Structure 1
Amino acid sequence: MATGNAIRGTRVGSGPTGESERGESAKRTVVSFWCSNGHETQPSFAHDAELPSTWDCPRCGLPANTDMKNPPPARRTEPYKTHLAYVKERRSDADGEALLEEALSKLRARRGEN
């Protein structure tokens, strides 16, 4: 049973397809990048664009380059450190004890304790 809908099956912006309607496509260059897990990624770039030396692999996140036999090594990730861990790197236990004693003596002096 026909409903008489003349625009059924079309979408906004649809029309005749082809280069003459949309204009010419820009020249593209497809480059292969390989990560250390052997994944190949093939992004495309503008023909006259400067190509990057490395690219992040979309599958595993490791860095990739154009040399299939010699991919870049994985980045070294630093473990999360707390503020206290950074302070302990800069100060010795003796320094910490001296600073604590100084702070406590100032606090006691303000309170009128000795």
Structure 2
Amino acid sequence: MAERTLRGARLGGQSFEDERGIEFAARQQVGYACPQGHSFEIPMSVEADIPANWECPRCGAVALSVDGILPEEKVEKPARTHWDMLLERRSIKELEDILTERLELLRGGEIGPAHLHRAKGKKKKTSA
């Protein structure tokens, strides 16, 4: 039974192609140093844009290029708040008018939580 066993290779585990006739891309070694004192090199293509920072493989800190390449500063937009979006749709005068109208309705008992308003002219029933 052991003689008839099929033998195979794991997927992606081993390549059966040889390297004859293959021309590799030109590479360069790019050095990085992290704030913890670790230094390492990453092989990259000569044609690649070299990143200014890389994650340190030892500690995970952000390592900077030893070639003096500075990272680009990202322009961050300020967070849009609910108030900012509201002001895009309404003016301050419109908002004041709406507030006044809603306060009048609330004070008149037409809107709002039912437990805060008692129906006019009705009295509570008492049990006998």
TM-score bucket (shorter structure):
0.3 to 0.5
Identify the structure with bigger relative contact order (alpha carbons < 8 Å, sequence gap 6+).
1
Larger Rg, first or second structure (1 or 2):
2
